[in-house]
Amino acid sequence: MNTRKENPAALLPIALFLVVYIGGGIVYNDFYKMPAIVVFLIALTFAFVQNKQFSFSEKMSIIAKEVGDDNIITMCLVFLAAGAFTGSIKAAGGVESTVNLGLTLLPGSFAVIGLFIIGCFISLSMGTSVGTIVALAPIAIGISEKTGFAMALCIGAVVSGAMFGDNLSMISDTTIAATKTQGCEMKDKFKMNFKIVLMPAILTIVLLYISTMSGTDYQKEALSYNFFQVIPYLLVLIGALIGFNVFAVLIVGIVTSIIVGVASGAMPVDEIFTSIGMGVTSMYDITVISIVVCCISGLVKANGGIEAILGFVKRRVHTKKGAQLGIGLIAAGVDIATANNTVAIVVTGEIAKDISKEYDIEPKVSASILDIFTSTVQGILPYGAQLLYAAAATAGTSTVLSAFDIIPYAFYPILMGVFGILYIFFGSKFIKK
């Protein structure tokens, strides 16, 4: 067990970020007047000067170890590979053709619902929400621009689909962490989890339909596409559904985009590496932000911020329902502090298991609660990787979004949290055994 003392003040850097970023956005009526990376650096500086028990070099060692975590390195490399794929597929004409083909085959009012459903399948198969957003964000942007549907709505549908699989997938880090720490079988957790999140998924489809039922005024006959240019996206989709590693899927996408782009004449040979390079550099901001957030998280943990969250909730647990809610709140609180749902589950797993044993909570239930509450937070966290990337993908478009623009349209994560709470309070009356 960690022996650090509780220190609520260690959470102040996160509060500082939210106050400065949200406050600046409200004052200037534009969140891009307060660049997120600048505000994060202010919060990091504050975290550095907080605890005088550690020397400067010790603090540097703490954040270096935090940044060197497997999850962080993997996430940053996914961002760079995603940038390379995005740059190559755009240059090859794949985004335009894929959007036009989809809008030609589907009624306009089902295009956004299609984004959510495809996102569910991809994330369920790949087990990664960020990888799903990477694959679908360009298509969502294209659909928004062609149909006139709000960009935030289209991107929100992608984020919703991505969080569906992140929460449920058998190969998701969160599922593995939740089942391992609680000592239950993956299939048992999946069944339990699915009963709780099925209705949020259905309601998300209903809300997306209501939001788009007025239809659009685009002309299908004006939408031209080259099916050959759609092949890279099809291969990425198939690879994801089969369950290939996200890096393998993206590499296949990059290679086939180059082949298709050159063969179709859309990508001159001398622009191959330029296109890939531009895609990679477009990911620099989100990669640096992720590293800085990780540094803040490392200092928050080292200074006792996580222990403050754990202790605050545990002292207020007195009943079985309270214990279940406590597990969810602990997990959510740690996710807010770390901006990483897998790390949040690992950190809170041991105390969640202790609470479960004390109040006779089944392991599959505690595992589901851990995953649901952390995925809820991660899907609406303005400085989480999912929303940061989703917002960054809109850079250079006619409608540049901030994470806060997307949150109201992230229907599924919000509903998942609501139904997670409903399950805790109504239990067997809420879902069938």
The pLDDT tens digits for 21-65 are: 888 878 877 666 777 788 889 999 999 998 888 899 999 999 999
> What is the pLDDT at residue 287?
83
pLDDT at residue 1, rounded to an integer: 42
- Give residue 334's pLDDT band: very low, low, confident or very high (50, 70, 90): confident
Q: What is the pLDDT of residues 352-381, one digit of tens each?
A: 888 888 889 899 999 999 999 999 999 999
pTM: 0.78
Computed over every residue of the chain, the mean pLDDT equals: 85
pLDDT level of residue 131 (50, 70, 90 thresholds): confident
170 vs 204, residue with greater confidence: 204
Residue 265 has a pLDDT of 86
For 158-188, write each residue's pLDDT tens digit: 999 999 988 887 767 788 888 888 888 888 8
The pLDDT of residue 277 is above 60? yes
pLDDT of 219 over the 60 cut:
no
% pLDDT > 70, the chain: 93
Q: What is the pLDDT of residue 105?
A: 74
User: What local confidence, expressed as pLDDT, does residue 390 receive?
Assistant: 92
150-164, 333-347, 413-427: range with lowest mean pLDDT: 333-347
pLDDT at 156: 96
What pLDDT score was predicted for residue 428? 58
3-state secondary structure the chain: CCCCCCCHHHHHHHHHHHHHHHHHHHHHCCHHHCCHHHHHHHHHHHHHHHCCCCCHHHHHHHHHHHHCCHHHHHHHHHHHHHHHHHHHHHHCCHHHHHHHHHHHHCCHHHHHHHHHHHHHHHHHHHCCHHHHHHHHHHHHHHHHHHHCCCHHHHHHHHHHHHHHHHHHCCCCHHHHHHHHHHCCCHHHHHHHHHHHHHHHHHHHHHHHHHHHCCCCCCCHHHCCCCHHHHHHHHHHHHHHHHCCCHHHHHHHHHHHHHHHHHHHCCCCHHHHHHHHHHHHHCCHHHHHHHHHHHHHHHHHHHCCHHHHHHHHHHCCCCCHHHHHHHHHHHHHHHHHHHCCHHHHHHHHHHHHHHHHHHCCCCHHHHHHHHHHHHHHHHHHCCCCHHHHHHHHCCCCCCCCCCHHHHHHHCHHHHHHHHHHHHHHHHHHHCCCC
